[in-house]
Amino acid sequence: MEEKLHPINDSNQIYSKKFQQMGFSTRAIHSGQQPDLIHGGVSTPIDLSTTFAQIAPGELKGKYDYSRAGNATRTSLEIQMAALEGGKYSQIFSSGLAATSAVITLLEVGDEVLCIDDVYGGTQRLFRKISAVSHGVVFRFEPLDDLETVKPSLSKKTKLVWLESPTNPTLKVTDLKKCIEIIKEFNKDIIVCVDNTFLSPFNCNPLSLGADIVVHSGTKYLGGHSDIIMGMVITNNSALNDRLYYLNKCIGAVPSPFDCYMMIRGIKTLGIRMAKANTNALAVASYLTKHKKVEKVLYPGLPDSKYHEVQKKQLRKGEGVGFGGVVSCYLKLDLKQIIKFIQNVKVWILAESLGAVESLINHPALMTHASVDPENRKKLGIHDNFIRFSVGIEDLEDLIGDLEQAFDAVDNEKNNTKF
């Protein structure tokens, strides 16, 4: 018997078509979601079954046979996720890195990948330490935000280009449309994948800029409450989607139905959360720019950022759309003072990750990017006086007030030690 391909939940698909042309939040709330057909329950049911009754051997009662291969709760999330990125298909994985890993598993031994140099640390570790060593994929890391480097870095063996924009933590922006044009002109069969975690589908839709695949760590803005680890892959290419579905099923890095439900719930408020994070982040970035203890602020939303115009051009159109919630900066303080500053904040939480309702502070050199070797860190600009903020959706005056008192406390501390 032929192996079944991706089970499509027809009733959900048809229901979702009604909302296809509507605004972002309408799609986020309704796509893939449908009042329960028996009782009319409004929230998406969590279908915990691992296996499903069959009428005759191989003849399914419904659309599913075994939950690793698919279940109704996950299908609802797939449809919701595809609708947000303006894609036809989506596959859901148990983490962002599981999604990344599946995309790299599309390749074969000897295939080459061109990757932006300042890529997310975990992606870099997966590529360098696992895919290159165990699976024979060849990686080349280049500063692809500089379009001059794109064409000379491609070869006949290049099968995939991995982009991330803006990058983490130095927030470099690539002109995606132009970059993808250069790649496709060189060889239209090269697959271009964009990790869109930092902007979320609310701020940017890379498929509309020419990308073949969009990847998300749903752990960040999509879930939005620091309580789910998940990853997504979205594409308009049905052959790629079939292969990704097959890889998902074969490798088995799938999320639980309960986590899918939590994600669906989180995504429904993505629009208002992201809009608030966008305005809060811009205000925090402007505040930092004016502070005498701050050397330099990196945020593409600031009009004097060298990436401002490029980023503005490739944002989605719509009310509340902005430059994202991550702001980085260099402080005019030594490491001891910076640690004091970080420990003095009361509203902001010292923690890795980003993209949730609560605001976080991270010291990349000592935390998220500690595994990047010091030489590389220096090259990327991740110095000891470098701080990354994930601006959440608290009241702005409390966020800024908290930073102000923490900056002041550094001085007091210094005076105390002097006397």
Q: How far apart are CA 16 and CA 115, in angstroms?
A: 35
Indicate whether 168 belongs to the interface with ligand PLP (CB under 6 A): yes
Q: Which stretch binds ligand PLP (CB under 6 A): 126-134, 145-153, 212-220, 405-413?
A: 212-220
HSE (side-chain half, CA atoms, 13 Å) at 27: 19
Q: In what order do the strands lie in the sheet with 386-390?
A: 294-298, 326-331, 386-390, 360-362, 349-350
Question: x-or-dash pattern for ligand PLP, window 76-95, by CB under 6 A?
Answer: -------------------x
Candidate residues 84, 97, 209, 263; the one interacting with ligand PLP per rule CB under 6 A: 97
Q: How far is the CB of 98 from ligand PLP (least distance, A)?
A: 7
Which tokens belong to 309? Answer: 């115009």
User: Residue 104 phi/psi, 5° resolution?
Assistant: -70, -30
Residue carrying the six token digits 């995606």? 176
- Contact partners, residue 378, CB within 8 Å, separation at least 6: none
Residue 259 in the binding site for ligand PLP (CB under 6 A): no
What is the C-alpha end-to-end distance of the chain, expressed in Å? 83
Distance CA 347, CA 386 (A): 20
3-state SS class at 106 = coil
Question: Has 68 been annotated as catalytic?
Answer: yes
Query: CB count, 10 Å around CB of 34?
Result: 17
Q: Is 220 one of the annotated active-site residues of the chain?
A: yes
For residue 51, the 8-state DSSP code is B
By CB under 6 A, tell whether 101 contacts ligand PLP.
Answer: no
Among 78, 145, 175, 195, binds ligand PLP (CB under 6 A): 195
Instruction: Choose which of 12, 91, 101, 123 interacts with ligand PLP (CB under 6 A).
Output: 123
Q: Contact with ligand PLP (CB under 6 A): which of 24, 64, 120, 307?
A: 120
**231 contacts ligand PLP (rule: CB under 6 A):** yes
User: Among 96, 206, 301, 364, which residue sits at the site for ligand PLP (rule: CB under 6 A)?
Assistant: 96
Q: In this structure, are residues 60 and 250 in contact, taking their beta carbons and an 8 Å threshold?
A: no
Instruction: Specify the residue for token string 């003072």.
Output: 337
Q: Is 251 in the site for ligand PLP (CB under 6 A)?
A: no
Q: Does 47 bind ligand PLP (CB under 6 A)?
A: no
Residue 220 as a binder of ligand PLP (CB under 6 A): the answer is: yes
Give the separation between CA 42 and CA 351, rounded to whole angstroms: 35
Does the footprint of ligand PLP cover residue 122 (CB under 6 A)?
yes
In the complex, least distance from residue 111 CB atom to ligand PLP, rounded to whole angstroms: 21
- Catalytic status, residue 120: yes
Which residues is 214 bridged to in the sheet? 194, 234
Q: Which is closer to ligand PLP, CB of 16 or CB of 219?
A: 219
| Minimum separation from the CB atom of position 290 to ligand PLP (A) | 28
As annotated, the active-site residues are 68, 120, 195, 220
Applying CB under 6 A, which residues contact ligand PLP? 95-97, 120, 122-123, 164, 168, 195, 197-198, 217, 219-220, 229, 231
